[in-house]
């Protein structure tokens, strides 16, 4: 028996192969929800799961080439969400509109903060663009609902407070102008 056959018959190898197969099947079930991937699979005869895994591997590889990392990260943050936002606008259901509006608010706020501090972030956080890409994926993937979580826990309190201060200031300004008239 060769060394390769011994490895393939080892219980740990068999268990790992079973788990990998399970996760590939689960990913395939999830990806079936996207007609674009189903059409791509029919046209190319390449399973959509392999296409997505290969695309993810390519993104990781491009992140390793640092000059392309920012562009790839921003493409991940814009490409799929832009397409799914278009689909949400065209669908009659308002639920997907809320999901993507929330995503764009959080993504825009994050990019605003990043624009202010990008040099500091790049200096102190190695692999910043890779972490940003993972964060963006967490924001946009429906399984995690990261955009909603971030909006509710971070942005909503800030925006509610700012809005309340703006209303209070407006009321004070109106009262002051009424006193001076």
Rounded Cα distance between 92 and 88, Å, is 8
Rounded Cα distance between 169 and 159, Å, is 15
- pLDDT tens column, 47-77: 999 999 998 888 788 777 777 888 888 899 9
**pLDDT for residue 173 is more than 70:** no
pLDDT score for 154: 92
pTM of the model: 0.64
Q: Which two tokens stand for residue 109?
A: 């706020």
DSSP 155: I
Q: Which two tokens stand for residue 42?
A: 């029919």
Percent of the chain with pLDDT over 70: 95
What does the pLDDT average to over 13-25?
A: 90
Rounded Cα distance between 66 and 72, Å, is 10
| Upper half-sphere CA count for residue 105 (Cβ side, 13 Å) | 18
**pLDDT for residue 177 is more than 70:** no
């Amino acid at each position: 028996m060769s060394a390769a056959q011994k490895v393939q018959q080892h219980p740990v190898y068999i268990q790992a192969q079973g788990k990998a197969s399970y996760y590939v099947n689960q990913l395939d079930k999830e990806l079936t929800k996207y007609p674009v991937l189903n059409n791509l699979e029919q046209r190319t005869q390449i399973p959509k799961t392999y296409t997505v895994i290969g695309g993810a591997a390519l993104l990781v590889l491009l992140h390793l080439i640092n000059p392309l990392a920012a562009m790839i990260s921003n493409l991940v943050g814009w490409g799929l969400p832009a397409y799914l936002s278009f689909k949400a606008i065209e669908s009659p259901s308002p639920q997907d509109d809320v999901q993507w509006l929330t995503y764009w608010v959080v993504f825009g706020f994050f990019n605003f903060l990043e624009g202010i501090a990008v040099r500091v972030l790049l200096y102190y956080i190695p692999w910043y663009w890779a972490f940003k890409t993972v964060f963006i994926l967490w924001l946009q993937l429906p399984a995690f609902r990261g955009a909603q979580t971030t909006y509710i826990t971070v942005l909503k309190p800030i925006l509610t407070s700012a809005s309340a201060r703006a209303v209070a200031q407006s009321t004070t300004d109106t009262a002051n102008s009424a006193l001076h008239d």
